[in-house]
Amino acid sequence: MTEVAHGWVLTRVPDLKEKTQTLYKNHVKKWVAPYLNYRALPVDNMAIHAWVKYFDMVKRDGSPKTAGTILTRIKSILGWAEKRGLVKPINPVLNLNVSDVGEQASVGQRVLQLDEIAKLWLQIESTRATLATKSCLQLIFITGARHSEIGLAKWEHFDFENDVWTLPPENSKTNKAIRRPISSLMKEILNKLATVYGNFEYIIPGSNPRKPMTTHTINRYCCRVWEQLFEKYNMPKFIPHDARRSLSTLLSEHGVAPHLTEKMLGHTMRGVMAVYNKHDWMKEQREGYELYCKLVLAKKRSINSSKK
């Protein structure tokens, strides 16, 4: 199985996005090679009990959700290998469901309320992190963009004459360009970044200014900020990706139409709209972003006033 998995990593995975490549390579390195490499038993000869025993080990050393994820990954690997004649077309592992070996990966439900986002903003401002680190988390929360979209953003992607940020297809999960307006608060943050780091290459530079900040860095910073907020306010756990759900939910509560929040999140429109309607509602998006920033900053001022 390990040989087949490595063939998949070398041949199929390079066609995927960089972040996905890293994830899949780690899956094989951590959950396939160490467990299945020692077996002299070829993948075609693995009986169902051998597969179940393997997933029991993954569940023991990882979690039920990890076992479910790895089952999905192994099915993908074997499907790729079967089409190339590397394995027999029928393998007992293909009959296993996620519920047989573990659990489905959970869909996030966390939505931060306005007062929580305002408290987060105040906490970010009070930390000793670098401007790049602080700005990255702030931009994630006021744009609803994915962390990878912020992390890979370069100054050349920003049109400051028309205040439009164009995400190129290669940086988009949908492989399509995404246009977002630059809100006044976003421009303020970008101006600070340009003053400190210069306006070349990435807007959020890593330790090497010509490379972007790593996902691990911002996730670790977000966790540290949350720990401080938990200590102060007993605030429930949140991660950067929750910013997307929060922006969409809060704007919907304030009357912003669903098709606009979908555009703001960079989602692909569905059905007939996806085929015929290529309009990106830039004016309406801009109004939505300005409303969101206005609500957050107003709540921030309210919290500051109550402390005095």
Q: Where are the domains of the chain?
A: 2-101, 114-307
Please name the residue that has the structure tokens 């290669």: 170
Residue 278 has pLDDT above 70, yes or no: no
- Tell which wins on pLDDT, 141 or 80: 141
List C-alpha distances in Å: 189 to 25, 40, 70, 124: 35, 57, 40, 13
Q: Sign (positive/negative) of CA torsion 271, 272, 276, 280?
A: negative
Looking at the DSSP bridge assignments, the partners of residue 179 are 166
pLDDT of residue 272: 46
Is residue 163 helix, strand or coil? coil
- pLDDT digits over 218-229, tens only? 999 999 999 999
Q: Round to whole Å and give the CA distance between 66 and 103.
A: 8
Of the candidate ranges 1-5, 217-221, 242-246, the one whose mean pLDDT is the lowest = 1-5
User: 2-101 has which fold?
Assistant: DNA polymerase; domain 1 (1.10.150)
- Tell which wins on pLDDT, 307 or 111: 111
List C-alpha distances in Å: 170 to 24, 86, 177, 188: 18, 31, 8, 26
Segment holding 159, helix H or strand E: strand 158-159
- Mean model confidence pLDDT for the chain: 86
Would you list the DSSP string of 173-221?
TTSS-EEEE--HHHHHHHHHHHHHH-SSSBSSB-SSTTSBPPHHHHHHH
pLDDT of residue 277: 46
Residue 164 has pLDDT above 90, yes or no: yes
Residue 270 has pLDDT above 70, yes or no: no
Instruction: Tell me the CATH number for domain 114-307.
Output: 1.10.443.10
Residue 51 has pLDDT above 60, yes or no: yes
Residue 161 has pLDDT above 90, yes or no: yes
pLDDT of residue 31: 83
Mean pLDDT of 260-275: 70
Q: CA angle at residue 293 from 128 to 152, to 5 degrees? A: 60
Confidence bin at 23 (pLDDT 50/70/90):
confident
By the 8 A CB rule, do 87 and 78 touch?
Answer: yes
